[in-house]
Each structure stands twice: as C-alpha cells, then as structure tokens.
Structure 1
Amino acid sequence: MLQIVSAFAAARDSISWADDAINELRYAFQVFIQGDVAEIVIEFDSQTSEHVRKLRFKSPFPKVLNRKTTEALINLRHSFDQAAAAAHRVTNSRRASDPTFPWGQTPKDVEFRLKQKGFDERLRDTFMAHEPYPRADTHPGGDDIIRSLSMVANNKHTVGLGVHGYLTGVQYPTLSTGKGQLSFSMPTWDPVKNEAELVRWSGEANSDGKYEFAFQIVFNDFRFLSLWKR
C-alpha cells in the first residue's frame, strides 16, 4: 500500500502546486481590482452621432496573473500524465517507459489509446469515468474543460496562457433622456482597448446613481471563452 501511495506522490504535488497557483492568482486579481484601476468615460461616436459611456481599466492586467495562470495550467496537465504513469507502474511491470494520459476525441479513441499505451485492463473504467474527450453529438458524455486544458497545455508556441476579462453582470443607474434614444447591450470586454461599452444615447441624457459590476477573469484561449459563453 505504501508503494502505491508513493507512486502517486508526484501527481499529488502537482495538484497541490496548481491549487497554490490558483489561490495566488485569485489574490493577485483581488488586489488589482480593489485599487483605483477603473473609470467611467464618455466618448462621442462621430459615425453614429451618439455618446458612448464605457467602463475602462486605467492599466492592463498585471503580468503576475498570466504567470500564475500558466503555472496552474502546466501543473494540472503534469498531474494527469504523472497519475497515468503511476497507475501504469503499479499495475504493469512489463514496459520500461511510462505512458502519458490517454486523451482522445471520442470514447473509442480513448479506449484505443489505453490499449496502445499498454494500460492494464483493470484501469479502463477509472480512465473512462473521467470522460477525457470533448462533448459531441456523435457520442454521450465528454468533459470539455479538462480536454481543453490538455490541448492548451500542448501548445508550445506561446509563452503561457493569459487571462481575459469578462463582465458577468451590470447594474445600471437610473438613466433618462429627453428627445433622444438610449441603447443598451450586454457589455463585451475588449482586451485590446481594456474597456467595455455600457450604453449609447443621442441628445442629452441624465443619470442618477452608480454603476455596479460583476467582473471575472477566464483563460484567454478561444476554447475556454466559448465554454464560458454557453
């Protein structure tokens, strides 16, 4: 039993380090967002002759957020491979090399990789229970989040994984206009301009009260942004 526990020590450490990185990421973002970082600005759109009110951050996200996100991602990915290798070692002593985690695009793909990589048949149900393949109409189940994590971690052409701002809710003050018109839409964060459009109006407008925002950060990768918007 002690030998089995020892075999999975590296995977447990990686998971623990990923948790630490996520907690440090959360703290760093809280420190950033609680400072004097945001402002409400009004601009004039000459193409539509409308005034535009925006939420804007005065400075970009600190790089520590990208670093902690990358640390969490890499350690999580390592934990999958380390756990797979440990499971292989304690159940199969015939092969010298340790296989990586059997990711796939479909359940059949995962089962093929399990056999190809030489995993013991007794491990099949354990691996399949994690559904390490994306969801699709062609098969039941699937876990888009962990599959996306593995695909992002495989991208060696970037330094790391950054973060993307996401407004999950806005509480508007009381807004009124005379003969003009007000136009609202759910704000979408622009990571280049570091801002989001809140409201447009023509003519004169008055506001009474304050804005309140619910703001979160997500992995700046198209896979996670599409999952978030579902």
Structure 2
Amino acid sequence: MTETATHTSNVVVVTHPLVRHKLTKLRDETTSTTGFRRLARELSLLLCYEATRDLRLEPVEINTPIEQMTGERLSGKKLCFVSILRAGNGILDGMLDLVPSARVGHIGLFRDPETLRPVEYYMKLPDDIGNRDCIVVDPMLATGYSASAAIDRLKNAGAENIIFVCLLAAPEGIACLSKAHPDVKIITCSVDRELDDHGYIRPGLGDAGDRLFGTK
C-alpha cells in the first residue's frame, strides 16, 4: 500500500497522488481564478480527511433496511474551523463540505509589508470555543507570524486542542509556529524550499488571496 502522508515531528505532509496532482495545477500561473478556487476547495477536502483522522467514535444502534446493527458516530468534543481572513476562506468551504455541522470562527489579520508582522483587525469565535477541537485554516504558512498570532488568540479564548492546516508551508514558517506552539500539529500538502526577501514562499503559488479572489 502506498503511503498517503509523511510524518516528521509535528508536521504531516499529505502525499496522496490526487493531492500532488491538484497542487501542481494550483501552482501553475496559467490556472484561472475559477480553477484556482475549485482546486483549493478540492485540496481542502482532502486535507480535512487527514486532519480529522483521530476524531473519537462511539457505538450507536441503528436499523438498516435489512436488520439492526451497531454502527459508529462521532463522540466527544465538536469541531470548530477557524479561518484566518481573508485567504483562509478559500479552503474553508471544502472543510465544511466534509463536516457541515462544524462551527466556524474567523480571525482577521493582515501582514505589515515593512515588518511582515501580523496586524489583527477582526475576531469572532463561538462562545464555547474551549469545548471544541479547533482546526485553523490558512492557505500559506510563510513566516509563521500570522498563524502563531491567531493560535495565541485562540488559546487565550480557551481553545486547547488545535490543528493548523495549510496548502503550502515554508521551513521558516514551520520553525516559527513550532517554537511558539509545539503542541499544534501542522498538516500541509508541501513543505517548499524557502521564503524570498518579501516573505513569499518559493517556489510557492503566488499570493493565495489574490489568486482566490482575482485581486492584485
């Protein structure tokens, strides 16, 4: 059986052939805005499958059209997806396709072009965030500053069990987030080579927000 994910410390790289194929198309500069959105949604669904791998189950009695049986259903804490605005919304929909009952939180951050540090402008979370497993979504883990800041805010609000999911990660971003939050698992499609002087991932896919929403 071919492995579909590789695990290194707290980082999981999803290597399923469909993920690798779709990621290549996502990176291609000739991919249209419509195509980019579709591919991001499809990849997020596949990433969500990996991110929810360890959800707890409990037995439940049901009747099939043929007979009674013992099935399984999710138990324990419920899920909350937390999107880092604005680009996080580009992979949020695919997550909700798989887990439509999940609650959704938003943390608005933009990156200061001089310092590359995040500036918060919005946050809205479920009141019971401390009783939920949280999956934080953002297409890119570049410097790691925004992801670390968002998870700081989540933990301050009471969240304890947190996973970070992104399409691409840079080694610098992984190092930053892992240092700030060593308890947070990172799930991604690829760990790329490096950041350039402007904080963009290389080879990367450009600015995910601009490509998702057709802006520059």
Q: Same fold (TM over 0.5)?
A: no
- If the length of structure 2 is used for normalisation, what is the TM-score? 0.28
Higher Cα Rg: structure 1 or 2? 1
- If the length of structure 1 is used for normalisation, what is the TM-score? 0.27
Higher strand share: 2
